[in-house]
Amino acid sequence: MRDVAVAMGCGIALVTYHFGTKDVLFSTVIKRRAAYMAHERILALDQARAKAKGKPVPVEDIVTGYVWPFVERSAAGGRGWKNYSLFIARHANSPEFAKVIDQHYDPVARQYLNELERTFPSMPQVDLYYAFSLMVGAMVSIVAEPGRVENLSSGLIKASDVEAAFQRMLPFFSAGFRALLPPSP
């Protein structure tokens, strides 16, 4: 809370007055940002469904609809969104924030999972859930810009260029879903 107060240029008493505890502050931030993500992702899914005209939505459109809003906000949304992306990357799977993350992200994730089931009806559900979780994990890891890829590539890749990363994420994630399909008879 003290770090937040310093970053905001106010006293800790003011932050505590408005939010009470660190958990309430983080929950409020997650709720606000997740609402924007939900809106953008549902809009993208609705557009993909309309484009598919009743047929299964191509996996590339599903991946784009879910991943791009997060990547785009991290890249172009200013320092607040970058900090939020880093927060999500660090805490998305932490027991401390599991309930609030689940509450605000799972309803949209389930809509995407339902659409993936329509796209890949022969894929075992366990594989579908693993593929989706791997996609989300890689997405938050890349967007967090940890610099690992920059170090490994000796500077060839800039960790801050998340848009270039997305251009590779899309075919990689799409192929990952397809790779888990059972063999055709």
Give the Cα separation of 35 and 31 in Å (integer): 6
pTM here? 0.85
Mean pLDDT of 121-126: 97
Other CB atoms within 10 Å distance of the CB of residue 164: 12
pLDDT on residue 148: 82
DSSP reduced 3-state for 19:
helix
Contact 71, 139 (CB under 8 A): yes
Residue 159 exposure: Cα atoms within 13 Å on the Cβ side:
16
Give the Cα separation of 46 and 28 in Å (integer): 27
pLDDT on residue 63: 99
pLDDT on residue 1: 44
pLDDT on residue 9: 55
The runs of H, that is alpha helices, within 53-182 are: 59-76, 78-91, 98-119, 125-143, 148-152, 162-179
pLDDT on residue 15: 44
Lowest mean pLDDT among 43-47, 89-93, 131-135, 154-158: 89-93
For the chain, the residue count is 185
Residues 10-38 pLDDT 10s: 555 554 544 455 566 566 667 788 899 99
Residues 66-106 pLDDT 10s: 999 999 998 888 888 888 888 888 877 777 777 888 888 99
pLDDT on residue 126: 98
For the chain, the structural domain boundaries read 28-180
Q: What is the DSSP letter of 82?
A: H
DSSP reduced 3-state for 93:
coil
Give the Cα separation of 82 and 54 in Å (integer): 36
Residues 150-183 pLDDT 10s: 899 999 998 888 889 999 999 999 999 999 999 9
Domain with residues 28-180, CATH architecture: Orthogonal Bundle (1.10)
